[in-house]
């Protein structure tokens, strides 16, 4: 998607709110060969530039209502972002290694507004359980340093796609009150910085598909 909004272009080149950045190879829409592009992920906006030092992005991919999957039939270390709905737009990219591919897929799959909202709801649920339990027992909630989590065995490697948004996030160790409170606040602040979500109708008019 090409950009015609100067404010959005300016936001793309600021150093604030960067979740991941780096080079990926993106398959062209007209020329079907892969082209090396500099990508910057901010919330659920994935900007891409021709060169790292460029001051204006070539375009942006809005990460909502999509699936992400590996595509072994393309270049090595490749994956695709497929948007749901009538348009069914698809972006195919590849990284320089499996490690980079998996890191990008993990970041992209967690970038949607829906995923962030789900995280906030789950953290709020844990926080409510902690405070409710402490209240029923007539004691203060311990706000000291969180206890060290129990050791967790590393996940078994598999080629099945672990990044579909339809799959719930894996359960991790329960956090202490302070860690949970700080994490909840961080995610809420992060969510609020995605100001473009409130301007979605205006942005949509300024983006050429």
Look at the pTM and tell me if it is higher than 0.85. no
Confidence of residue 209 (pLDDT cuts 50, 70, 90): very low
C-alpha closest to that of 3 among 57, 48, 53: 57
Question: Mean pLDDT throughout 29-57?
Answer: 93
Distances (CA, A) of 80 to 11, 71, 77, 92, 183: 25, 7, 11, 4, 30
Structural contact between residues 23 and 40, judged by C-beta atoms closer than 8 angstroms: no
Dump pLDDT digits (tens) for 94-105. 999 999 999 999
Higher pLDDT, 9 or 203: 9
- The DSSP bridge partners found for residue 49 are 38
pLDDT above 50: residue 1: yes
Dump pLDDT digits (tens) for 122-144. 778 888 888 887 777 665 555 45
Which domains occur in the chain, in start order? 2-111+197-208 (2.30.29.30)
């Amino acid at each position: 998607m090409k950009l015609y909004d100067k404010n959005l272009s300016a936001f793309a080149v600021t150093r604030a709110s960067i979740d991941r950045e780096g080079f990926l190879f993106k398959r062209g829409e007209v020329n079907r060969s892969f082209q090396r592009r500099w990508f910057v992920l901010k919330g659920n906006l994935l900007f891409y530039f021709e060169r790292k030092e460029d001051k204006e992005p070539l375009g942006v991919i809005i990460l909502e209502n999509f699936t992400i999957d590996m595509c072994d039939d393309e270049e090595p270390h490749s994956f695709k972002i497929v948007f749901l709905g009538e348009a069914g737009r698809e972006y195919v990219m590849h990284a320089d290694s499996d490690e980079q591919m998996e890191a990008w897929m993990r970041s992209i799959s967690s970038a949607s507004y829906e995923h962030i909202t789900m995280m906030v709801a789950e953290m709020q649920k844990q926080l409510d359980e902690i405070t409710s339990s402490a209240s029923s027992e007539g004691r203060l909630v311990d706000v000291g340093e969180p206890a060290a989590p129990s050791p967790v065995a590393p996940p078994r490697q598999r080629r099945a796609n672990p990044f579909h948004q339809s799959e719930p996030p894996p359960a991790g160790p329960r956090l202490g009150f302070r860690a949970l409170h700080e994490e909840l606040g961080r995610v809420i602040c992060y969510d609020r910085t995605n100001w473009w979500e409130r301007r979605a109708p205006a942005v949509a008019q300024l983006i050429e598909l």
